[in-house]
Amino acid sequence: MQRSPRLMRRREPASATALSSLNPVLARLLAARGVSSVEQLDLAMARLHSPRALSGIEQAAEVLADAVEDGQRILIVGDFDADGATSTALSVRVLKAFGAQEVRYRVPNRFEDGYGLTAEIVASEADWRADVLMTVDNGTTALAGVAAAKAMGIRVVVTDHHLPGAELPLADALVNPNLAGDDFPSKHLAGVGVAFYVLSAVRAELTKRGWFVKQNIETPNLARYLDLVALGTVADVVPLDHNNRVLVEQGLQRMRAGQAVPGILSLLAVSGRDFRRIVASDLGFGVGPRLNAAGRMEDMSIGIQCLLADTPEVARRLAEELHQLNAQRQTVEAEMQQQALVILQQLSARLSKDDMPRGVCLFDADWHQGVIGILASRIKERLHRPVIAFAPDGNGNIKGSARSIAGLHLRDALEEVDALNPGMIQRFGGHAMAAGLQMAQVHFTAFAVAFDEVVRRKVAEEDWQGVLLTDGELAPDEMTLELAELLRYAQPWGQHMAEPLFDDVFRVREKRPMGAAGNHWKLSLEHRAGGTAFEAVMFNMQADELPPGEHWRIAYRLDVNEFRGNRRLQLMVEQAEAA
């Protein structure tokens, strides 16, 4: 199946009158993203929503404050992705700063334990005799795990952001902005954001009790931990609404000042990022993948140890280990992607265009469980179709990781497949755009048919054409290093606050391949208005996929290319098509 190019469409213009004090290009960009006042650009800590609006937070604060005061044992159960790792490290660091004497963490192993708090996890930690169990970035659907902990006399605090099921666990406190009836204004907190809010409430409760004064502990400033919150928020690709942008920007400021934990500074270093100039995308494409590599390839405990390291030497050693794991992940991913494309080519040769699956399910007995999520994402981007990639778990079952397109809520789709085929799916969960499931391998073919049928019913015809939203044209005299620098730091760009993307017609003066695979390109582009050529780069494009002719319509970002202290403008090409 050929790559499915996205249709370039320009964002609807919006009035930027209220932003007239800003650079005109920046004002236009922000207005198109729903920013209607200068106040919405204020990313000071004081602009954060109050914790009090989160349901269950007072109960959670009381349970955890009691545990700190009484010297009780606190067990933190996290998740094996970057959000779970940062949530775990944040909770360990902050609770110890509060004066908690015994804090332990446990993160399930992707390959042995599965996702989240289970009864088996609780049983495996029984010998430590925890008094309180706190989940971070999981727990909302952990009915059996919470019940097992409660049966052992453990008080349970669930902090999470995932969508709830029909039944909630019977925890002592459950904090999740996505619960029905919760009044917290932002529904997009990552797991680490929820944990940060809960810990803020614990600090307030301990302060009210006079704990810090009695123990002669300086009241901890939780802003010093926002580097961890920023990393987890960006890596989990949650929408960057105003509240999340405050959390991310405050964390980025700490990092640029060299005040991040040694683990984050070391991960930035091994990924080739200068901490003094980092932006949100450096966390998403540099640090996040290396941290996630631990949970994908081995055990997320390596990543958490890196974030908990207090010395640069220990942090750097662990960061190097994560860097090597990420390199292994990239090699495995490349092999799996080639195998997936062969499967798709074989399907395409056998089936007519109309019979090709709209909901794509892929399976290979040799695929790596930890990489199927990335594989599904890559194939989804290529085909613009919902994709589920499966790998065996070694016990006769297969685990699937799913990625969706606009117009299909994945979790709802899986729920419908499950309802129509009772007993086929053993378990599933997730969000609108990403989900996971497990089933017996013998059901793969039947599931693939059932999933495709549901996808065909649910996705409207207009949603099959991927759309690439751009911010329109820039005049040649606007395409400057100064504007690139301004846009780089104007806001934390990310999900639902898309990084500026422009489009126009250029003449391709020169193109030459880069990299060992020859699928990256160095370009020299002349604007349609003529004049000086602009340097540009384009990644992950095979030679036979390049547009014909010398005039291309290009969607591009302004970037700063820094080499040996010299900085110059560079265009990052997102998509190119014949003009």
| Tens digit of each residue's pLDDT, the chain (579 residues) | 667 778 999 999 999 999 999 999 999 999 999 999 999 999 999 999 999 999 999 999 999 999 999 999 999 999 989 999 999 999 999 999 999 999 999 998 888 777 789 999 999 999 999 999 999 999 999 999 999 999 999 999 999 999 888 899 999 999 999 999 999 999 999 999 999 999 999 999 999 999 999 999 999 999 999 999 999 999 998 999 999 999 999 999 999 999 999 999 999 999 999 999 999 999 999 999 999 999 899 889 999 999 999 999 999 999 999 999 999 999 999 999 999 999 999 988 888 888 899 999 999 999 999 999 999 999 999 999 999 999 998 888 999 999 999 899 999 999 999 999 999 999 888 788 889 999 999 999 999 999 999 999 999 888 888 889 999 999 999 999 999 999 999 999 998 899 999 999 999 999 999 887 788 999 999 998 888 899 999 998 888 889 999 999 999 999 998 877 788 999 999 999 998
Q: What's the structural domain count of the chain?
A: 3
- Of the candidates 464, 488, 515, which is a domain's last residue? 464
Let me know whether 479 and 460 are in one domain.
Answer: no
Let me know whether 213 and 275 are in one domain.
Answer: yes
Let me know whether 301 and 182 are in one domain.
Answer: yes
Let me know whether 172 and 197 are in one domain.
Answer: yes
What is the CA angle 15-480-30, rounded to 5?
20
Instruction: Give long-range contacts, CB 8 A cutoff, 24+ apart: 199-202.
Output: 199/90, 199/91, 199/94, 199/95, 200/51, 201/51, 201/54, 201/57, 201/58, 201/60, 201/61, 202/60, 202/61, 202/64, 202/65, 202/68, 202/95, 202/98
Domain CATH number, residue 24: 2.40.50.460
Let me know whether 13 and 63 are in one domain.
Answer: no
Furthest C-alpha separation in the chain? 76
Q: How far apart are CA 161 and CA 135, in angstroms?
A: 11
The residue assigned the tokens 């005049």 is 475
Q: How far apart are CA 87 and CA 82, in angstroms?
A: 8
Let me know whether 479 and 456 are in one domain.
Answer: no
Let me know whether 257 and 291 are in one domain.
Answer: yes
Does a structural domain hold residue 128?
A: yes
Does a structural domain hold residue 334?
A: no
* Neighbouring residues of 106: CB distance < 8 A, sequence distance ≥ 6: 75, 76, 77, 78, 121, 124, 125
Strand partners, 556: 502, 573
Q: How far apart are CA 548 and CA 238, in angstroms?
A: 37
Does a structural domain hold residue 372?
A: yes
Q: Which of 109, 280, 108, 277 is nearest to 190 (CA)?
A: 280
Give the range of the structural domain holding residue 413, as residue numbers without chain letter.
Answer: 351-464
Let me know whether 317 and 366 are in one domain.
Answer: no
Q: How far apart are CA 525 and CA 509, in angstroms?
A: 6
The single-letter code of the amino acid at 515 is: G
Q: Which of 97, 109, 104, 111 is nearest to 126 (CA)?
A: 104
Let me know whether 140 and 285 are in one domain.
Answer: yes
Let me know whether 363 and 453 are in one domain.
Answer: yes
- Of the candidates 464, 488, 516, which is a domain's last residue? 464
Give the 3-state secondary structure percentages of the chain, helix then strand then coil, rounded to 5. 45, 20, 35
Q: Provide the pLDDT for residue 99.
A: 97
pTM for this model (two decimals): 0.92
Query: In the sheet where 73-77 sits, what is the strand order?
Result: 102-106, 73-77, 132-136, 155-159, 173-175
Q: How far apart are CA 28 and CA 13, in angstroms?
A: 8
8-state DSSP, 494: B
Q: Provide the pLDDT for residue 1.
A: 60
Whether the Cβ atoms of residue 283 and residue 230 lie closer than 8 Å to each other: yes
Number of residues written out for the chain: 579
Does a structural domain hold residue 457?
A: yes
String of DSSP letters for 187-254: S---HHHHHHHHHHHHHHHHHHTTHHHHTT-PPP-GGGGHHHHHHHHHHTT----HHHHHHHHHHHHH
Does a structural domain hold residue 333?
A: no
Domain CATH number, residue 454: 3.10.310.30
- Of the candidates 287, 307, 324, which is a domain's last residue? 324
Does a structural domain hold residue 43?
A: no
Q: Which of 551, 507, 512, 552 is nearest to 526 (CA)?
A: 507
First to last CA, the chain: 24
Let me know whether 526 and 459 are in one domain.
Answer: no
Let me know whether 500 and 429 are in one domain.
Answer: no
Does a structural domain hold residue 40?
A: no
Write out the two tokens for 547. 């547009």
Q: Provide the pLDDT for residue 168.
A: 95
Whether the Cβ atoms of residue 576 and residue 553 lie closer than 8 Å to each other: yes
How many Å separate Cα 228 from the centre of its chain?
14
Whether the Cβ atoms of residue 137 and residue 78 lie closer than 8 Å to each other: yes
Does a structural domain hold residue 343?
A: no
